[in-house]
Amino acid sequence: MVGEAAAFELVGSYATPGAQPRGYAFSDLYAGWVVDNGGTARVYHVYWTTGSVSASFPAPGGHGAWGLCSASGPYMYFSNNVTSYIYRITTDGSVVSSFRCPLDGPADMTRVYPGPYLYVAIPDRNVIAVLNPATGSLVRSYAGPGSRATSCAGYTGAYVGDDATHTVYRDGKPLLTGIDSPLGLEEVSTWLDATYLYVVDDATDRMYMYESGMPVEPASLGRVKALFR
C-alpha cells in the first residue's frame, strides 16, 4: 500500500513500461524518461499522465541500468549500478562522455541546473555522493536518512528514497511511507508554488505522482499539465 504524507496528495499512477523500473527524469511539460533494467535494458520516454510510451533507446552499458537525471541542454546523465560508470548522453541514447563513479554501485541521481554537482544514491554504502560531473571527482558524501538510499531528487538531494525502510524522506524526515521499493525519484516545482514528486516503485512496477501546494483532483490531471505552461 502506498502511503501519503499530509503535505502531499497522490494524484495519479500508471504501470511502468517494464518489470524492473529504476530511475526517472523529467523531460518536458508532458513527459519524462524512465529506466528499465529487465531483459535488454532500455530507457523509455513516457507521458506522465498516462504512462504511454512515445520513444525508447537501449540503456548505455546494458545490464545494471539505473539512474537518470537532466543535464544542461539536450543531455542527460545516466548511471550503471554494475559497472559503476556514469554517462553523459543525448536524448536518443548516444554517449557523449563518461567517467567511473568514485564510489561503487551508483543508483538513482539528481541535478538541478545550473547547479554544478550530481547527487548520486549509493545503496550499498547508504550514502549520497556529491560529484563534480566535469571531472568525475567526489566532492563530498553524506549518510542517507534510512538504511539503504536507493534514489534521490530535488535541489541538493533533499528527497531520498530507501528500499530497506520503504520510505521516501524529505530533509531527513519521513515523507511517504509504505512504498516497497522506491528506486527512482523526481521533483518538479511550478511557478504557482506547486510541487510534484514522482516515485518509481519497482515492487509494484508503477509510477506514482504526488502533488503538494495546490489541491488537484485525480480525475482532472489536465489541470496539472496546465500548471507548467
Q: How far apart are CA 96 and CA 11, in angstroms?
A: 36
**The pLDDT of residue 214 is above 70:** no
* Residue whose C-alpha is closest to residue 122's, from 135, 137, 136, 141: 141
For residue 132, the tally of other CB atoms under 10 A from its CB is 14
Are 17 and 53 in contact by the 8 Å Cβ rule? The answer is yes
Residue 172: predicted pLDDT = 94
Name the β-bridge partners of 210: 10, 197
Q: What is the arrangement of strands in the sheet containing 118-122, beginning at the earlier edge strand? A: 109-110, 118-122, 127-132, 137-143
Higher pLDDT, 72 or 51: 51
Chain segment 8-61, per-residue pLDDT in tens: 899 999 999 999 999 999 887 688 999 999 888 999 999 977 889 999 999 999
Q: Which 3 state secondary structure label does DSSP give 124?
A: helix
Give me 75's grid cell.
Answer: 543531455
Locus of grid cell 515523507: 175
Residue 228: predicted pLDDT = 37
Are 17 and 5 in contact by the 8 Å Cβ rule? The answer is no
Question: Which CATH code of 3.40.920.10, 3.40.720.10, 3.80.10.10, 2.120.10.30 fits the domain covering 9-226?
Answer: 2.120.10.30
Provide the whole-model pTM: 0.88
Beta strands 137-143 and 149-153, pairing class: unpaired
Give me 111's grid cell.
Answer: 541535478
Residue 155: predicted pLDDT = 75
Mean pLDDT of 74-80: 93
Q: Which 3 state secondary structure label does DSSP give 122?
A: strand
